[in-house]
Chains A and B, each alone.
Chain A
Amino acid sequence: MPYQVREVLAELGLDRSAQCQMVADFLAKKLVWMLEKMLLTRYFEENAEELYTRGLVHGTMHLSIGMEASPVGSIAAIEPDDYIIHHHRGHGHTIAKGADITLMMAEFIGKEAGYCKGRGGSIHIADIDGGNLGATGIVGSGLPTSVGIGLALQMQKSDRVLLSFFGDGAANIGEFHESLNMASVWKLPIVFICDNNQYGMSMPAEKSMNIRHVAERASAYGIPGVTVDGNDVLAVHHAVKKAVDRARSGEGISLVENLTYRWRGHSKSDRNLYRTAEEIKEWRQNDPIVRFARLLIECRVITQAEFDQFDKKCKDAITQATEIAATFPEPDPRNMELEVYAP
């Protein structure tokens, strides 16, 4: 039985005063940024889902509805010229890292103007110029590549860091071990972040590990590891910021586990036979966006009316992006061989 919300909040929840203190320490602008990114992600995902059911999107997609706080809180803790690498459920990560929604949409529907010129699609979305070094469709494949990115940053004497996102399923793949081991030995400037939504497709995390928290594995590499309520965007930010500072100072890697939940199935063909409707309903009450919005309103950072405005703005932005993206041309199938190799 995966985590129930009560357990999570009991074990990991920050108390109200701590949260209010965090709010006070932040610039209002940054708080609003986080809220908007989460709203954009939510609407992006819902829109993508709708396009999919209408048969307009080829292939499949992996939605992160309900998981918005992890990427947004984490990326809020880095600078614009830091790097991220992520996974197949990475729309939120891509949005938080500053991608243009229209170009993202264009990639989804396979248009030439998309971030990967329609060659990658949802599972391989990347915004290289923006420091988003790509999603990968092979579980855990981003981990060894992260080692290389961190190595390059270290050898180039850069003070940039890398956030390497992976899921609870990837925590069990062999490359996880090789990568964290090597990165810990070389003290690379990487923060490894586990988006633990408690299921690897249909397999609950508790059935695929003999330990309770993925973060417990940190001790195996002699690095700090922490588990966080992944639906509390401020808690996520807090933990990741600490790890980022450690990485930037040259002290090495850390492992942050953001405990969260996905509302939709693994992909579009998932029939949700492996979990109960009650469980899904319970977690939907723990909506990271609702929680954060309520906190901000309570702390008088924004008003309800302002929230409604942001809400509408984000929704409209997605609609507009979709409409524009639909008008872009399809890619040309000739000469694809010329795109395989660099000159």
Chain B
Amino acid sequence: MATPIIMPKVDMVMEKGIFMEWLKKEGQAVQKGETIYVMMTDKASIEVEAPASGILAGLSARPDDQIPVSQVVGYILQPGESLPEAARQSSPAAITADMQANTELAEEVKSLVGNGDSALKKNGDKLVRATPLARNLAREMKLDLASIPGSGPRGRVYRRDVERYLHARPPKQVETMSEVQPAQVLGFTPSRQMPKLIAALPAARERGRVVLKGPRAIIAQRLTYSAAAIPHIHLSLYVDMSEAVQLREKVGPAIEKRTGQRVSFTAIIAHSVAHLLGQHPVLNSSFLGEEIVYWEDVHLGIATNMDEYLVVPVIREAQRKNLEETVVELNRLVERAHSKKLQPSEMTGSTFTISNLGMMGIESFTAIINPPEAAILAVGKIQDAAVPVGKELAIRPMMALTLAVDHRVVDGAQAAKFLAGLKEVLENPYLLI
């Protein structure tokens, strides 16, 4: 077999060698160990020996070629041997073309870097000196740091300065609806709009204390806003879930067999809500102060209880999913929630929320709307009750649904139509086909 002549690695950092010249010619006979070519690294000029005795053939390297370590530059043939296929086809031109491409790339990068400078131009921001704590506090309170006088060197703002600034402003009552800024619907509580609570702490021994941060803090802000700024009305009714129970019994095993997932009532309700909202767009909307946005997609938030706080994983585009897909997605999200693997993107962006406390034994309850949504459905426990059917009493599994809506966006009749429609669908599941 033809013995390849390669570009050898001669020091630790070498990646390429520069081919200088052949000391022997194509077709010439050489002995093993005889020097046959000279190459250069950035340290020295190196004479390379023949790895075997025989005839030189297929010499492809040319002076000044930059050749990567271990690349073949020629062959030594024994009598009767011929060059391998690859050698006959490859040409030095291929190597130099490579180099060319590299140079072009280098030029491109250089030109980009040159333009980069302009992107880093100062945008005229005034530098505000403040401690991280002060910054944090100002951000939470939605204060403009630059307008807070700092007591430290060169105007450094401390926490105390932020607190002083806050206390100096008189507490404002929220007079009119227009006081609530649009941006706030999408952001956090502007607690400066809230009257400050001044109350005596109980004279009791402390059991513990925790700094409000992370999800707990965010929930606190959202709910404060919601309770204060969104006018809620609540509508409730009872749903006879016998048909739904039957549906679950019939369809559940098949779905479980196919997907390994169990069908929950929450999934059935979610599925029904998702498909029904298409006919009741006003409940799948957001109030933005000046405008109301009606959403095409239904991103269903399913309130899921974790030990320490609530997370609301979102089933995206729930209106496109059939029951099986809803089941799979819901179970996947809940599992991720419990194993604490939910990403922020999986917990935000809902257009409607369902909260089910039925499994905790709650018969009915009212929920607080999750801004910027316009409604939230509170689901209670399915329990047997005696209900009139025709003129007789029957025992049916009954479930309370309580719908809260943002009365700025949804009026009573619209809410009622949706809720009644939901009851109808749950009591007659075939309506969804």
Contact = CB atoms under 8 A, between A and B. Distances in A.
Q: Do chains A and B touch in the complex (CB under 8 A)?
A: yes
Interface of A: 52-56, 59-60, 268-269, 271
27 contacts: A52-B9, A53-B6, A53-B8, A53-B9, A53-B10, A53-B70, A54-B6, A54-B8, A54-B9, A54-B69, A54-B70, A55-B9, A55-B69, A55-B70, A56-B70, A59-B12, A60-B11, A60-B12, A268-B9, A268-B10, A268-B11, A268-B12, A269-B10, A269-B11, A269-B43, A271-B44, A271-B46
A119 B327 CA distance: 49
Contacts of B9: 52-55, 268
A56 to B, nearest CB: 8
A268 B13 CA distance: 11
A124 to B, nearest CB: 16
Interface string B323-366: 00000000000000000000000000000000000000000000
Is chain A's interface secondary structure helix, strand, loop, or mixed overall?
Answer: loop
A53 B12 CA distance: 10
Closest 4 interchain pairs by CB?
A269-B11, A53-B8, A55-B69, A55-B70
A337 to B, nearest CB: 24
Nearest to A49: B8
Given A53-B6, A60-B12, A268-B10, 20 more contacts: A52-B9, A53-B8, A53-B9, A53-B10, A53-B70, A54-B6, A54-B8, A54-B9, A54-B69, A54-B70, A55-B69, A55-B70, A56-B70, A59-B12, A60-B11, A268-B11, A268-B12, A269-B11, A269-B12, A269-B43
Interface in B1-48: 6, 8-12, 43-44, 46
A318 B6 CA distance: 22
B37 to A, nearest CB: 14
Contacts, number: 28
Nearest to B11: A269
Nearest to B4: A54
A56 B70 CA distance: 9
B406 to A, nearest CB: 49
A121 to B, nearest CB: 12
Contacts of A53: 6, 8-10, 70
Nearest to A53: B8
Nearest to A59: B12
A58 B373 CA distance: 60
A201 B68 CA distance: 28
Q: Which one of A52, A56, A60, A269 has the highest number of Cβ atoms from chain B below 10 Å of its Cβ?
A: A269
Contacts of B10: 53, 268-269
B10 to A, nearest CB: 6
A269 B6 CA distance: 17
B230 to A, nearest CB: 48
Contacts of B46: 271
Nearest to B51: A50
Contacts of A52: 9
A248 to B, nearest CB: 41
B76 to A, nearest CB: 15
B66 to A, nearest CB: 15
Contacts of B43: 269
Contacts of A269: 10-12, 43
Interface string B37-72: 000000110100000000000000000000001100
Nearest to A61: B12
A269 B69 CA distance: 14
Nearest to A269: B11
A52 B9 CA distance: 7
Contacts of A59: 12
Contacts of A54: 6, 8-9, 69-70
B267 to A, nearest CB: 38
Contacts of A60: 11-12
A52 B11 CA distance: 9
A86 B395 CA distance: 89
A54 B12 CA distance: 12
Contacts of A268: 9-12
Interface in B110-128: none
Contacts of B44: 271
B176 to A, nearest CB: 58
A269 B12 CA distance: 7
A55 B10 CA distance: 9
Q: Which one of B6, B12, B46 has the highest number of Cβ atoms from chain A below 10 Å of its Cβ?
A: B12
B420 to A, nearest CB: 57
A35 B69 CA distance: 35
A56 B9 CA distance: 9
A124 B141 CA distance: 59
B270 to A, nearest CB: 39
A160 B9 CA distance: 43
A22 B391 CA distance: 120
Nearest to A56: B70
A176 B397 CA distance: 91
Contacts of B70: 53-56
A56 B6 CA distance: 13
A5 to B, nearest CB: 20
A192 B208 CA distance: 67
A43 to B, nearest CB: 16
B59 to A, nearest CB: 19
A144 to B, nearest CB: 28
A60 B70 CA distance: 16
A55 B72 CA distance: 12
Contacts of A271: 44, 46
A172 B12 CA distance: 27
A165 to B, nearest CB: 24
A16 B334 CA distance: 87
A53 B9 CA distance: 4
A60 B9 CA distance: 10
A255 to B, nearest CB: 33
A46 to B, nearest CB: 12
A138 B6 CA distance: 33
Q: Which one of B9, B10, B11, B44 has the highest number of Cβ atoms from chain A below 10 Å of its Cβ?
A: B9
A86 B306 CA distance: 60
Interface string B71-100: 000000000000000000000000000000
A162 to B, nearest CB: 32
A277 to B, nearest CB: 11
B9 to A, nearest CB: 5
A269 B10 CA distance: 6
Contacts of A55: 9, 69-70
A58 to B, nearest CB: 8
A53 B39 CA distance: 14
A55 B44 CA distance: 18
Nearest to A271: B44
A54 B8 CA distance: 6
Contacts of A56: 70
Interface string B215-246: 00000000000000000000000000000000
Nearest to B71: A55
A264 to B, nearest CB: 12
A52 B6 CA distance: 12
Nearest to A58: B12
